[in-house]
A and B are shown apart, each in its own frame.
Chain A
């Protein structure tokens, strides 16, 4: 258990972070110049961290797989970012944001981390406004707020339906400023292939230049991973095509524990799957649930007619519609948390009440809102989303209700980190979606942007400095060491091995097959039996991949098939760990729903006595069972109870 000391500072909840900062070690300005930090990933968490380190005076090397940091997938976040400003005077506070987040995560997150997140949330908004982020404003010139799921206050700041874009561009501009100044070196089109650990500390990375194929070594005093989530293990998800879990997985195989890998968020409002050629799914922002009402027909006969196209949903009278969220959860209605909304949609569709040609869709209807507010108001609020929907589905959502269905969106699981966001490998810090830290078993809407920027602007600049304080005697870390030799050799060997297979099936065919296994067996409704089956099927698929995959070309070129194959090797291992983690957790909590464990009303049934812990998995070697470590969760400041949104 030694390795799993979360290092939570002493004292009352509201004073922990203040106490930490008051007593942490600092590095003086002259010494900062002697210390190198590697930041992998330049989305919200990575760009904000790299910029902040640069401002402090550290030497920073930042890496991104895109041609520019502005393309990181944070850019696609639509709805907004939470903060406890309480501008609308509707009863919000730091404590309430903390409480909603802990409850929303179904009591599977660490209190101290979540409180700190809520505590720094207000500074994030101040920071972004100072950078020139054009948040939505009211006519009086002050900032506007809207509501998101799992909260009864309006605390979400937004920039049309493009909040992630604007926040990322803010962080990107801060990063650009530091690159111009020379404090940050930006390496683009570069992918991390391995982590280098020297004498038990993270000291560097091995990368592949995605244009030339060149394998490179980079060393530093500390390494920060801000490489996002691994939702693409499901093949179809709302993640961008190149979002991947490889950096985190490589860190895991070098000794960083992986926390709660099975905790996956299935987002309720995505455009339904419509063909086997499909490459990804598109999210329709949760903010739409502010004004849209979710329903399916009350009778199966009507549902069948709609599926066959013989009944138009707009013709179905009010009394024949089942607004099932409003019916089941009158207190929160259409604004229940994502896991609850997704499960309720699945339940209705599985029972035969779904709509659309596949029966795997429910309606998100704006008819009432348009009547109440006028089309122009709805257009101002959600215009770009409606346009996006129409382009994809070829139907006008102002006239016909939108069809939505749950899809994989976010992974709450990730590399286990302590209060300082440091992994079990000293000197390896993990931020943003890549860590497991703040969202427990379910993330609330508008909290991912908050966490990414909290980690990058306001947490890592303190905690990494605390770590580096005793590293000032270490001269610049070199790349000439047996550990670097070994890591580079092993990365090259993997590439050679992949290229030598010369089989018959493309990487994508394997990815689709893995996605089917994950969605059907490790998806929204899990059972012990399904999870066991998934483990076997993934192992078989992995063996087949290494015998049969076909990758054209060579390493020394732009080779996207090779890039995909390298990521795929990790998905094929990570998927198995996700299934193992789901199998271990004999309870339902948040997005992890074990069908064996539910209340008579079909709600998630937690088992706090036996499962109030973080499952932190430890790698033990190739094809060996990973070792389970547990971090017990202690709730001192909230009362743990069954989540109730009724």
Chain B
């Protein structure tokens, strides 16, 4: 394996070669890295730092760029859901962190994705407090709309879309949240402010523009569709037009 090692954000990084042996085909990719780290610790070497937690593809923590692709070669899964049976015996695997300016490296394969949280804080919510809500069945929502909202809401915030994009654009991430709320009557109230505020925050944080290569959709572990970007664009331009008119 060639693994990116970088002691901290301020220091330079480099690839280091490692070998692991006797790995079961049934082991997960991260379990293979656990084995490597066990060996490194025993040899008094610094283990490879990487983010991970649930190891079942839902927390969005794991974030490895494997052989040139976010979350590795398989479609529709996260790194932690990949198993070693996917690789050939003796194969060289190259592992890097997400590479995008808004996601600085913290150490080795671990990056700082708080930029995503900042985008959500800019408007990725419905401004209701706790309590005093109408009955949950008071507003019927067509199943189709609820299903599309759920498709969008299944985003795990891992950042693969940004890592996959040559412009480091966060359009799919932002669109998924905008689209979820755009499909629901509860979300319509603040729709205009939300899309403008989230998009300008995304730009401010240094994410790039979308040039419609759809790499984000191809690499998204939850297979979120770029059609949500189209919906966000419609929301965005619509909101701009209304704002212009009101001036």
Q: B29-52: which have CB < 8 Å to A?
A: 30-31, 34-35, 38, 40-42, 44-47, 49, 51-52
Asked whether any CB of chain B lies closer than 8 Å to the CB of A75, the reply is yes
B125 surroundings in chain A (CB, below 8 A): 131-132, 173-174, 176-177
Known contacts: A66-B61, A508-B34. The answer to whether A137 contacts B126 by CB under 8 A is no
In the complex, the answer to whether B51 meets A67 with C-beta atoms within 8 Å is yes
In the complex, the answer to whether A388 meets B56 with C-beta atoms within 8 Å is yes
In the complex, the answer to whether B28 meets A279 with C-beta atoms within 8 Å is yes
In the complex, the answer to whether B56 meets A55 with C-beta atoms within 8 Å is no
Cα–Cα, bound, A133→B135 (Å): 14
Closest to A502 in B: B44
Residue in B42, B55, B61, B136 whose CB lies within 8 Å of A550: B42
In the complex, the answer to whether B150 meets A240 with C-beta atoms within 8 Å is no
In the complex, the answer to whether B53 meets A73 with C-beta atoms within 8 Å is yes
In the complex, the answer to whether A394 meets B35 with C-beta atoms within 8 Å is no
In the complex, the answer to whether B110 meets A123 with C-beta atoms within 8 Å is no
Q: B119-133: which have CB < 8 Å to A?
A: 120-122, 124-131, 133
Residue in A76, A127, A509, A553 whose CB lies within 8 Å of B54: A76
Min CB gap B71→A, angstroms: 12
Residue in B42, B60, B110, B142 whose CB lies within 8 Å of A558: B110
Asked whether any CB of chain A lies closer than 8 Å to the CB of B59, the reply is yes
In the complex, the answer to whether A277 meets B31 with C-beta atoms within 8 Å is yes
In the complex, the answer to whether B121 meets A180 with C-beta atoms within 8 Å is yes
Q: How many Cβ-Cβ contacts under 8 Å join chain A to chain B? A: 218
A131 surroundings in chain B (CB, below 8 A): 125-126, 128, 186
A134 surroundings in chain B (CB, below 8 A): 146, 149-150, 153, 180, 184
B44 surroundings in chain A (CB, below 8 A): 552
Per-residue contact bits, chain B 2-19, to A (CB 8 Å; 1 contact, 0 not): 000001100000000000
B27, B61, B107 — most chain A CB neighbours (10 Å): B61
Known contacts: A279-B28, A457-B130. The answer to whether A129 contacts B114 by CB under 8 A is no
Cα–Cα, bound, A108→B143 (Å): 41
A173 surroundings in chain B (CB, below 8 A): 120, 124-126
Cα–Cα, bound, A241→B131 (Å): 34
Closest to B146 in A: A137
Known contacts: A71-B53, A241-B53. The answer to whether A132 contacts B59 by CB under 8 A is no
Residue in A141, A188, A242, A552 whose CB lies within 8 Å of B46: A552
Asked whether any CB of chain B lies closer than 8 Å to the CB of A391, the reply is yes
Closest to B81 in A: A391
Known contacts: A176-B125, A177-B127, A506-B38. The answer to whether A130 contacts B149 by CB under 8 A is no
Known contacts: A67-B51, A71-B61. The answer to whether A174 contacts B136 by CB under 8 A is no
In the complex, the answer to whether A140 meets B140 with C-beta atoms within 8 Å is yes
Min CB gap B133→A, angstroms: 4
A177 surroundings in chain B (CB, below 8 A): 121, 125, 127
Per-residue contact bits, chain A 384-410, to B (CB 8 Å; 1 contact, 0 not): 000110011010000000000000000
Min CB gap A56→B, angstroms: 8
Per-residue contact bits, chain A 504-536, to B (CB 8 Å; 1 contact, 0 not): 101011000000000000000000000000000
In the complex, the answer to whether B113 meets A550 with C-beta atoms within 8 Å is no
In the complex, the answer to whether B117 meets A176 with C-beta atoms within 8 Å is yes
Cα–Cα, bound, A247→B136 (Å): 35
Q: B54-78: which have CB < 8 Å to A?
A: 54-61, 76-77
Closest to B51 in A: A67
Known contacts: A75-B58, A143-B136, A394-B85. The answer to whether A138 contacts B130 by CB under 8 A is no
B49 surroundings in chain A (CB, below 8 A): 558, 560
Cα–Cα, bound, A263→B40 (Å): 37
A509 surroundings in chain B (CB, below 8 A): 38
Cα–Cα, bound, A179→B119 (Å): 12
Per-residue contact bits, chain A 156-199, to B (CB 8 Å; 1 contact, 0 not): 00011010111001001110110110000010100000000000
In the complex, the answer to whether A172 meets B106 with C-beta atoms within 8 Å is no
Asked whether any CB of chain B lies closer than 8 Å to the CB of A637, the reply is no
A394 surroundings in chain B (CB, below 8 A): 26, 83, 85
Min CB gap B242→A, angstroms: 21
Closest to B142 in A: A141
Instruction: Please provide the 9 A-B residue pairs with the shortest distance between their CB atoms, ordered closest to farther.
Output: A141-B140, A173-B125, A126-B133, A134-B150, A180-B121, A134-B149, A129-B136, A130-B133, A240-B53
Other than the given A132-B149, A240-B54, 16 more pairs (CB < 8 A) read A66-B59, A67-B61, A129-B186, A132-B186, A132-B187, A139-B143, A159-B150, A162-B58, A165-B58, A174-B128, A211-B106, A282-B55, A387-B76, A391-B77, A552-B41, A560-B49
